[in-house]
Amino acid sequence: MTERLRIALQKKGRLADDSFALLKKCGLRFAIRGDGLLARVKNMPIDLLLVRDDDIPSFVANDASDIGIVGENVLVEEQLVAKDKLDAEITMRLGFSRCKLCLAASESSGIMKFGDLEGTRIATTYPGVLGRFLKDQNIDAKLVEMKGAVELAPSIGIAESICDLVSSGATLEANGLTAFETILESEAVLVQSGRKLSPEKQALLDKLMRRIDGVIKSAETKYIMLNAPKDKVEAITALLPGSDAPTIIPLAGSDNLVALQAVCTENIFWETLEDLKALGARAILVLPIEKMMS
């Protein structure tokens, strides 16, 4: 019987949909339904373990799962609060679910920088990361540990400030709070323990990681096509962000125009297109790339 690689994923929440989408783009076929704990991937020997995100680092460390996808914030927090060192390390950064763990307070609190926290109360669901920050900065403050709705703590009078995840800042703003310090930046990461996998599982994981790499790269990469005056090809190529040597094709019926095509590994902004046009480029097309393998 083939061994099945097990991947722990958040079942439901802000990490879940993007994690499922990433695996689907990697060619895994599966359906998530009901409240099942395990979902079978139909076309590869892979099972998905669907759990709460907080459990993912310890499941990976304790061999309940071979790898996991989790927010870096949760991994760091679980490592800091674990009784014994958790055997779970980042093997790959995934670039989605970007957020920051910030300290925030209202204007009326008089807290505007972390130095002002001395002797105050800070509400958080991240006692590990916040505790480490306060210790590093030599600040004596009281942690008020909560399970959620941290942003309400100042208005109900149980803390002067909060330490919480921020992405757009809208939740903070709605509660009259302003972030004044970032203590951790986070994105989704692939985690694995130090245990050696069987050769079959390792080969499958290598294949999956190559595909993930391709998916991440192709999301940022664009294919650009344009017509350009021959004498401007060099100047135009220099403007293309992160491109190798472009392909130059003669244009039928034109002596001084060529078609230029290139893969750009960085985002192409409107400003770049305007600069290209100013150099004489015409009929500029920017196309998404669906898959990449180099």
Neighbours of 28 (CB within 10 A): 19
CB of 75 to ligand ATP, least distance (A): 9
Residues that bind ligand ATP (CB under 6 A): 10, 13-15, 52-54, 71, 73-74, 97, 99, 165, 167, 186
Nearer to ligand ATP, 188 or 204 (CB): 188
CB of 99 to Zn ion, least distance (A): 13
Do the Cβ atoms of 20 and 32 come closer than 8 Å? yes
CB of 165 to ligand ATP, least distance (A): 5
CB of 69 to ligand ATP, least distance (A): 10
Rounded distance between C-alpha atoms, residue 228 and residue 248, angstroms:
10
Rg of the chain over all Cα atoms, to the nearest angstrom: 25
Phi, psi of 138 (to 5 degrees): 60, 40
CB of 53 to Zn ion, least distance (A): 4
**Residue in this structure with the two tokens 């505007």, named with its chain if needed:** 112
Q: How far is CA 232 from CA 143, 258, 280, 286, in A?
A: 62, 10, 7, 19
CB of 144 to Zn ion, least distance (A): 18
Binding mask 20-59 for Zn ion (x = CB under 5 A): ---------------------------------xx-----
Rounded distance between C-alpha atoms, residue 167 and residue 97, angstroms:
9
CB of 84 to ligand ATP, least distance (A): 22
Nearer to Zn ion, 15 or 284 (CB): 15
**Residue in this structure with the two tokens 């930046």, named with its chain if needed:** 185
Give me the sheet containing 5-10, strands edge to edge: 38-40, 46-51, 5-10, 67-71, 188-192, 89-93
Residue 73 binding: pick among Zn ion, ligand ATP, none (C-beta 5-8 Å cut-off by kind)? ligand ATP
Nearer to ligand ATP, 111 or 165 (CB): 165
Residue 165 binding: pick among ligand ATP, Zn ion, none (C-beta 5-8 Å cut-off by kind)? ligand ATP
Neighbours of 212 (CB within 10 A): 19
Q: C-alpha angle with apex 18: 128 to 98, nearest 5 degrees? A: 45
Nearer to Zn ion, 44 or 56 (CB): 56
Q: Which of residues 53-112 bind Zn ion (CB under 5 A)?
A: 53-54
Phi, psi of 223 (to 5 degrees): -105, 125
Pairing assessment for the beta strands 99-105 and 247-250 based on DSSP bridges: unpaired
Nearer to Zn ion, 35 or 234 (CB): 35
Nearer to Zn ion, 105 or 165 (CB): 165
Nearer to Zn ion, 77 or 160 (CB): 77
Rounded distance between C-alpha atoms, residue 54 and residue 78, angstroms:
7
- Residues within the interface to Zn ion (CB under 5 A): 53-54
